[in-house]
Amino acid sequence: MLDQTQSAYQDELKQLKKTTDEIDKQLQKIVETPRYFGQDLTEQVLDLNREVKREHLQKASAEPYFGRLDYQEIGKTQPFPLYIGKNGVENDKTHELLVIDWRAPVASLFYSFTGGTEEATYESPEDGTISGHVLLKRNLVIRQQVLQRVVDTYDRDSDEPTITDEFLLYRLGENKDNRLRDIVSTIQAEQDQIIRSVRNTAIVIQGVAGSGKTTVALHRLAFLLYQYRDNIRAERMIIFAPNSMFLDYISGVLPELGVGHIQQTIFQDWTLALLDNAVKLTDSTKRLAYWFNIGAKKPQIDNQAPGRFKGSIAFLHYIDEKLQQFEAACLPTADLVAWEGKTLLNKTVHEWFYVENKHYPLMKRRDRTVARMKRWIEIELTKFPSESMRKEYKKKANDRLRAYLKQWPEESPFSFYKTIFTEPHVPDELIKESNLLFKKKEVQPEDLAPLIYIHNRFYGIESEQMFDHVVIDEAQDFSPFQVALLKEQTRGGSFTILGDLSQGIHAYQGIWNWDEISSLFEADRTMYHQLDRSYRSTMEIIHFANAVLSRGGEAITPAIPVFRSGEKVRLIELGNEQQKVEALLKAVGKLQESGLINTIAIVDRTERECAILHEALTGKGLAANLIEAGQREYLGGISVLPVYLTKGLEFDAVLIIDADPLHYEQNFQDAKLLYVGCTRALHELWLFYVGEASPLFANLLYNEEINNGFAIEERWL
Ligand SMILES: Nc1ncnc2c1ncn2[C@@H]1O[C@H](COP(=O)(O)OP(=O)(O)OP(=O)(O)O)[C@@H](O)[C@H]1O
């Protein structure tokens, strides 16, 4: 066995040398070609192509590939080794494929193959379905041209030819810095299926915490750009993320995959820019503090919550109705008497507005109709014999036109939207609250989708504002209205919509089930995927988090951990409040001692508590960053942050403080919050409480059903 491993290693060394020599030769040739800065278009394109190739080759030179698959097509006598990397490389002269791009159809075998001796097939664009057998699947770790690891995950000739997770576990066991990474070398079959889904479909992914949803969506973008390179442009693809810090956190993945120029934004920023900043958003800190309040101040969340009401499709239909009424009644009813004896009949203006220009958006239609009226006046004026008469009557006509247009006011999306909040169909409380804000030209986040919707009806959507593909991350926090709005702006209904209902901590605005979103798309243009396997955290952490969630009292789909065992979750009772800071310092010290932990999150329940804690910790010399709402950058290291801001992020270790009944009550909303906090941890999860533990995990260890020995209790009194 050892011999076999060594000979595999030697073989791979030789192959690596052959490939890197060829890459370096090609690279050298490009580097020696002078850049072109002249005006000739053909030369400019050639230069650009060389630059793209240079970038690819430079990356490929350091890490040319990560996998090998020996595949024997039916009818062929020999297997063919396929080396799979982030970019394809071929021999300049012979055109032999040295490295196959991971997105190429044949490379799908590397991901979809899950063991066994049955035929493995893939779809070739030229030759249709190709069948054959996989003889070997090998993972290779190459860093800076050095072959570090060779792991066979399947070898048909071996005594145990089953696919193993060994390489995946090796990758998952690594520590994280402050950025999400690509996973091209270990994409799992269920993830690959999503990544390679056809465009012009709305893919809805419900995935447990850590199932790779964000990562998969980013890989899907890279795939779409490769597969449909003639039809899709990166600049026309957009990612909607929950906050700016999250965008910063994921910003490394697309460049690693060689993809640039994809728009990345948060919904609020995108809408405010479209509205030309005509309105301001209310202070998000206050809003979050309100919705994440604890104890008696905890607000009630139901369908009348402003976000649920204004985010509903019923509200969209209501606005539609109002727009129709506005459209039907906006024209003045009188004729325009330009001067005595010359009347433009109201019927004619109607005809121009409602028939001739009916395909234009409302305000454009108004502009065109008014322009037509002005032209009519000009033409009538030419019938006067003298310049002085024309002048005199022109003034008269313009005055009359001005008076006429006063009856036909030009609405802005905001002024129109405001009129809705006088209607009996809107709950009184909402009218009061909204009008108070509107007076200050302020709006809530849930007002933005309706405002853009009205904006689009008024002014239309420019073709350059249309998207080729839209990714919505943390989509459980999106409202159906937001998705319906984006659908209008996306060619072919091409979407990747991902989220987790168990992490729906913004239930005051988000969806409560996926039908709310799926039903917006035609049934045959939607695909639903469920990812239940969690890759982020150890088994112990996943078991614990599942137990917390199930105590929330609603039916849940438990996350299934990858078989990666680690330290037990620690439930630590403290003697009194004053001990908290010392306990955290001690915990950080212990974790850092191991040398294995890079990123640590200290998680409290509210932003205020975090600020106080952060001050106390830094006062004791701990170098920690306080993360607040609206923050744009994630710096890694030690962070102090409220639990609701941890969403989407991950840390080597998570320390949850104040895990008591006041901060985490036994209800679904709090269970989701604590679940989110717990599932951010990759390797270590510690929870601290003074006195009593939260009912979401109290006495967990004595509960026969769920006690698998995944947690230990300690008392630091
Ligand atoms: N196939 C895989 N191979 C290696 N690592 C993976 C794989 N899939 C996911 N991961 C890792 O699991 C972690 C979670 O991934 P990601 O953040 O994309 O999940 P998510 O479903 O969006 O999580 P959450 O909903 O909890 O925010 C990341 O560290 C990612 O690199």
Ligand 1: does its nearest atom lie under 6 Å from the Cβ of 535?
Answer: yes
Atom of ligand 1 nearest to the CA of 500: 25
Q: Is residue 418 part of a domain?
A: no
Task: Establish whether residue 187 lines the binding site of ligand 1, counting it when its CB lies within 6 angstroms of any ligand atom.
Answer: yes
Name the residue with the closest Cα to ligand 1, atom 26: 209
For the annotated binding site, the residues are 207-214
Say if ligand 1 is within 6 A of residue 241 CB: no
Strand 711-716 and strand 569-574: the pairing is: parallel
Which H or E run includes 51? helix 41-62
Nearest CA to ligand 1 atom 31: 181
- Our CA angle for 460, 464, 467, nearest 5°, is 95
| Ligand 1 neighbour 220 (Cβ under 6 A) | no
The atom number, within ligand 1, closest to the CA of 676 reads 26
51 and 155, same domain (yes or no): yes
pLDDT of 603 reads: 98
Among protein residues, the one with the nearest Cα to ligand 1's atom 14 is 210
Q: What are phi and psi of 684, to 5 degrees?
A: -135, 135
Q: Is the CB of 541 under 6 A from ligand 1?
A: no
Q: Which residue has its alpha carbon closest to ligand 1 atom 29?
A: 536
Ligand 1 mean position, distance from CA 518 (Å):
24
CA distance 48 to 188: 35
533 CB near ligand 1 (under 6 Å): no
- Binding positions for ATP: 207-214
Mark whether 31 and 94 lie in a shared domain. yes
Residue 186 Cβ contacting ligand 1 at under 6 Å = yes
DSSP state of 701: G
* CA 383 – CA 371 distance, rounded (Å): 19
Rounded Cα distance, 167 and 187, in Å:
11
Beta strand pairing status for 442-443 and 280-281? parallel
* Residue of 114, 13, 10 whose CA lies nearest to 69: 114
Of 498, 531, 564, at which residue does a domain stop?
531
Residue 299 lies in a domain: no
- Tokens encoding 440: 């200050």
The reply to whether ligand 1 has any atom less than 6 angstroms from the CB of 642 is no
Q: How far is the CA of 642 from the centre of ligand 1 (A)?
A: 21
Spatial distance between the Cα atoms of 6 and 10, rounded to a whole number of angstroms: 6
Q: Kindly state if the Cβ of 139 falls inside 6 Å of ligand 1.
A: no
What is the position in ligand 1's atom list of the atom closest to the CA of 682?
29
Which helix (H) or strand (E) segment holds residue 681: the answer is: strand 681-690
Q: Given the structure tokens 């779409």, which residue do they identify?
A: 224
Q: Are 224 and 199 in contact (CB under 8 A)?
A: yes
- The three-state secondary structure class of 164 is coil
> Is 500 in the same domain as 466?
yes
- 9 lies in the same domain as 143: yes
343 and 387 together in one domain:
yes
Residue nearest to atom 19 of ligand 1 (CA): 212
Closest ligand 1 atom to residue 680 Cα is: 26
What does the DSSP 8-state code read for residue 270?
H
Torsion of CA 67, 68, 71, 76, to 10 degrees: 140
Going by C-beta distance under 8 Å and a sequence separation of 6 or more, which residues neighbour residue 11? none
Name the residue with the closest Cα to ligand 1, atom 8: 212
Determine the angle formed by the axes of helices 445-459 and 362-381, rounding to 10 degrees.
30
Is the four-CA dihedral 493, 204, 264, 414 of positive or negative sign?
A: positive
In 48-88, DSSP assigns E strands to 67-73, 80-85
Strands in 469-472's sheet, in edge-to-edge order, are 263-265, 237-240, 469-472, 495-499, 202-207, 526-531
3-state DSSP of 301-345: CCCCCHHHHHCCHHHHHHHHHHHHHHHHHCCCCCCEEEECCEEEC
Distance in angstroms (rounded) separating the CA atoms of residues 185 and 173: 15
191 is a domain residue: no
Structure-token pair, residue 117: 């001796």
Provide ipTM, 2 decimals: 0.99
Q: Is residue 578 part of a domain?
A: yes
- Give the position, in ligand 1's atom list, of the atom nearest the Cα of 473: 22
The C-alpha atoms of residue 501 and residue 41 are separated, in whole angstroms, by: 52
Give the separation between CA 518 and CA 493, rounded to whole angstroms: 12
Find residue 472's DSSP bridge partners.
240, 497
Q: Please check whether residue 190 lies inside any domain of the structure.
A: no
Which CATH number belongs to the domain containing residue 664 in this structure?
Answer: 3.40.50.300
Q: How far is CA 17 from CA 23, 205, 540, in A?
A: 10, 41, 42
Same domain, 579 and 626: yes
Q: Count Cβ neighbours within 10 Å for each residue of 272-285 and write b for 16 or more, e otherwise.
A: bebbeeebebeeee
Q: Give this prediction's pTM.
A: 0.91
Same-domain pairing of 510 and 597: no
Distance 186 CA to ligand 1 centre (A): 11
Whether 207 lines ligand 1, by a CB cut-off of 6 Å, is: yes
CA of 160 to the centre of ligand 1 (A): 29
- Please tell me whether residues 216 and 166 are part of one structural domain: no
Q: Is 650 in the pocket of ligand 1 (CB under 6 A)?
A: yes
CA of 681 from ligand 1 middle (Å) equals: 12
* Eight-class DSSP state of 355: I
Nearest to 292 by CA among 533, 683, 641, 711: 641
Pairing of strands 120-124, 97-101: unpaired
Q: Which residue's CA is the closest to the ligand 1 atom numbered 23?
A: 210
Contact (CB, 8 A) for 457 and 323: yes
Q: Distances from the Cα of 278 to the Cαs of 55, 451, 482, in angstroms?
A: 42, 11, 19
Residues of the chain with pLDDT under 70: 1-5, 161, 163, 175-177, 287-292, 295-299, 301-304, 507-508, 702-708
In a domain? residue 180: no
User: Per DSSP, what are the bridge partners of residue 625?
Assistant: 639
Distance CA 246, CA 242 (A): 7
Question: How far does the centroid of ligand 1 lie from the alpha carbon of residue 536, in Å?
Answer: 6
- Distance (Å) from CA 287 to ligand 1 centroid: 29
CB of residue 490 inside a 6 A radius of ligand 1: no
Residue whose CA is at the smallest distance from ligand 1 atom 16 = 212
> Whole-angstrom Cα distance, residue 637 to residue 597?
9
Per-residue pLDDT tens digits for 301-347: 666 677 788 999 999 999 999 999 999 989 999 999 999 989 999 99
Residue in 644, 661, 643 with CA at minimum distance from that of residue 295? 661
Ligand 1 atom 1, closest CA: 187
User: Dihedral (C-alpha) 561, 566, 567, 569: value to the nearest 10 degrees?
Assistant: -10
Report DSSP state, residue 693: P
Q: Which two tokens stand for residue 186?
A: 């270990």
Distance CA 266, CA 269 (A): 6
| CB contact set of 407 (below 8 Å; sequence gap of 6+) | 332, 334
Q: Is the CB of 172 under 6 A from ligand 1?
A: yes
Ligand 1 pocket mutation pick from 139, 180, 215 by most atoms within 8 angstroms of CB: 215
- Tell whether 3 and 38 lie within a shared domain: yes
Closest residue by Cα to atom 30, ligand 1, is 212
Q: Which pair of structure tokens corresponds to residue 250?
A: 């994921």
Atom of ligand 1 nearest to the CA of 648: 27
Please give the helix or strand (H or E) that residue 655 lies within, else none: strand 651-656
Nearest CA, atom 25, ligand 1: 209
Q: 415-449, pLDDT tens digit by residue? A: 999 999 887 777 888 888 888 889 999 998 999 99
Q: How far is the CA of 614 from the centre of ligand 1 (A)?
A: 28
Q: How many CB atoms lie within 10 A of CB 400?
A: 17
In angstroms, what is the span from residue 211 Cα to ligand 1's centroid? 5
CA gap 291, 311 in Å, rounded = 16
| Top mutation candidate among 181, 243, 536 for ligand 1, by most atoms within 8 Å of CB | 536
Asked if the structure places residue 481 within a domain, the reply is yes
Based on the fold, state whether residues 525 and 548 are members of the same structural domain: no
For ligand 1, the distance from its centroid to the CA atom of residue 110, given in whole angstroms, is 19
> What's the total number of domains in the chain?
4
Ligand 1 center–CA 180 separation, angstroms: 8
Q: Is 369 in the pocket of ligand 1 (CB under 6 A)?
A: no
Q: How far is CA 88 from CA 82, 104, 184, in A?
A: 11, 9, 14
Q: What is the CA radius of gyration of the chain?
A: 31
Does 115 fall in a domain? Answer: yes
Residues 574 and 628 occupy one common structural domain = yes
Q: Which domain holds residue 213?
A: 196-276+284-291+442-450+462-531
Query: Is 69 in the same domain as 206?
Result: no
Q: How many whole angstroms separate alpha carbon 420 and alpha carbon 169?
A: 56
The identity of residue 707, as a single letter, is N
Q: How many CB atoms lie within 10 A of CB 347?
A: 8
What local confidence, expressed as pLDDT, does residue 652 receive?
A: 94
pLDDT number for residue 306: 73
Query: Which of 170, 219, 535 has most ligand 1 atoms within 8 Å of its beta carbon, as the pocket-test mutant?
Result: 535
Ligand 1 touching residue 401 (CB < 6 A): no
Cβ–Cβ contacts within 10 Å for residue 544, how many? 27
Is residue 537 within 8 Å of 674, Cβ to Cβ?
A: no
